[in-house]
Amino acid sequence: MYFKQIAVEGMGCLSYIIGCPLSRSACVVDPKRDVQEYIDLARQNGMKITYVFETHVHADHVSGNRELRSRTGADIYYMEGSPVEFEHKEVKENEEITIGNVRLKFLHTPGHTPQSMSILVTDLSRDNDPWFVLTGDCLFVGDIGRPDLAGEEILDEQIDNLYNSIHEKIGKLPPHMEIYPAHGEGSLCGKAMSAKLNSTVGFEMDHNSLLRLDHDEFTKEMKQGFPERPKSFTHIINTNKKGAPLLERCPVVRDLSPVQVNEYIDRGAIILDARDTAAFGGVHIPGSINIGLAPQSANWTGMVLDPDSDLILVVPDDKAYDYMTKQLHRIGYDNIIGYLYGGISAWQEAGLPIRHLWQISAEELAEKLKKGNYDYFFDVRTDLEWKQRHIKEAKHLPLPRLLKDVPGIGKDQEIIVTCGIGYRGNIAASFLQGKGFSHVHSLAGGMKAWINAGYPVEE
């Protein structure tokens, strides 16, 4: 049996290619949208991809299932009853499919979505007993799938389903059986997933705190806060239900002159500036949103920008452009008009308006706090980060909340923003600038810089 786990850094998406080189067949489970890696792996091992299995309709990334079918002819499978509108096939509870020496058995494990499934995998060349289970978004390493994405009206039903799926299906498997989930650290489909990419049934049942709760305790825990639902999730769900357009049908990428970019801005296009915080702070196009090149770029884009936005990118080079467009396509942000040719220098040379987002040093911030010479100071990190340590004078305003509810304060008042290392702070500060706040600073280097400079924090 051939088996490989493929991780999308930053987004925490995990997919799998499983096959039998002897029979020259393979399947892909929960594919990312950019599918070349699966095709290359199959070819390198003398296999052809003949099946694509989805453990559920995903909310956090656009599937590459139709992309794979268009390039390999593979059939696409979901659990029966899944709300999928394009051509596909269905499997039923306990149904089995054999691919050479590989046997797949499908378990209905609802809870994250009503039609979620897990897949028992057996290597028949070794034994008739299943070797491991792909748990989709039912059970993660150190966490479980969030049950709230299917809607508030069926939340109680989803919580019951999730509890039963874990304890009556996954939990009844042999303790030594390995589990491979559909997500890991970085995903927004759970609360606190481990960075470890696989585990065993026994270890999770013994050490995953959520699995040790009784039904009432579990229900109470599942009704408490989950990570903020990004703007992109509904769009991604609908795209996956209808079937994602092939990437070759996405708008043709164009290099745009400053004059063309300015014309598109007048028509409502959004400037996504993917440069680093210092470069953006020095000079940028008015109204730009700064989401720097990073593994988590897609998640934050999904938080900040509407999925139907027409986007123009400002990037340092062609490599950065290719990286950012791949990230955007993974979450279905396909309306990429192009990029600013010649970068920000060309914009300046054209004599067009510019803005600055001044970075404030830890030393300067300490002096301001000492003198009380500021209006508002926001820390946009998560609740956990805030509780671990924070600056005494800061007010906690997590970034997802800030993006959802713009502070009702004077547009001319000074706002200082901090985060962990400056990345989220610049997202927040650029967002506030775009909303008309004229006097915004971001702490250069964030809390890391503050702590390294030796300034005090509260724990």
Report the range of poorest mean pLDDT among 158-162, 228-232, 271-275. 228-232
What's the average model confidence in pLDDT over 114-125?
97
Angle between helices 36-44 and 65-72 (to 10 degrees): 50
Return d(Cα 278, Cα 147) in angstroms, integer. Answer: 39
**295-352 tens-digit pLDDT:** 889 999 999 999 999 999 999 998 999 999 999 999 999 999 999 999 999 999 999 9
State the residue for tokens 């509780």. Answer: 387
What percent of the chain clears pLDDT 70, i.e. is strictly above it? 99
> pLDDT-derived band of residue 148, with 50, 70 and 90 as boundaries?
confident
pLDDT for the residue 9: 86
Task: Count the residues in the chain.
Answer: 459
Residue 194 scores a pLDDT above 90: no
What is the domain class of 2-233 according to CATH? alpha beta
What's the average model confidence in pLDDT over 429-454?
95
> pLDDT-derived band of residue 250, with 50, 70 and 90 as boundaries?
low
Domain residue ranges of the chain, discontinuous segments joined by +: 2-233, 250-349, 359-452
Do 250-349 and 2-233 have the same topology in CATH? no
| DSSP letter for each residue of 80-149 | TT----SS-EEE-TT-EEEETTEEEEEEE--SSSTT-EEEEEEETTT-SS--EEEEETTB-SS-B--S-T
Angle between helices 297-304 and 423-434 (to 10 degrees): 20
Closest CA to 150 of 175, 113, 180, 115: 113
Please tell me which residue, 278 or 190, carries the higher pLDDT value: 278
pLDDT for the residue 227: 72
Q: Which amino acid is at 175?
A: P
**12-59 tens-digit pLDDT:** 899 999 999 999 999 999 999 999 999 999 999 999 999 999 999 999
Burial 118-144 (b: 16+ CB within 10 A, else e): bbbbbbeeeeeebbbbbbbbbbbbbbb
CB 153 within 8 A of CB 217: no
CB 158 within 8 A of CB 116: no
pTM given for the model: 0.89
> pLDDT-derived band of residue 230, with 50, 70 and 90 as boundaries?
confident
- Antiparallel, parallel or unpaired: β 48-53 and 25-29: parallel
What percent of the chain clears pLDDT 90, i.e. is strictly above it? 86
Residue 71 scores a pLDDT above 80: yes
pLDDT for the residue 251: 59
**358-414 tens-digit pLDDT:** 899 999 999 999 999 889 999 999 988 999 999 999 999 999 999 988 889 999 999
- Antiparallel, parallel or unpaired: β 117-123 and 102-108: antiparallel
Residue 98 scores a pLDDT above 80: yes
Report the range of poorest mean pLDDT among 89-98, 150-159, 369-378, 421-430. 150-159
Phi, psi dihedral angles at 271 (to 5 degrees): -95, 115
What is the overall mean pLDDT for the chain? 93
Place domain 250-349 in its CATH homologous superfamily.
Rhodanese-like domain (3.40.250.10)
Place domain 359-452 in its CATH homologous superfamily.
Rhodanese-like domain (3.40.250.10)
Sequence-separated (6 or more) residues with CB below 8 Å from residue 124? 98, 101, 102, 103
**What is the torsional sign of CA 213, 186, 380, 112?**
negative
State the residue for tokens 């926001």. Answer: 378
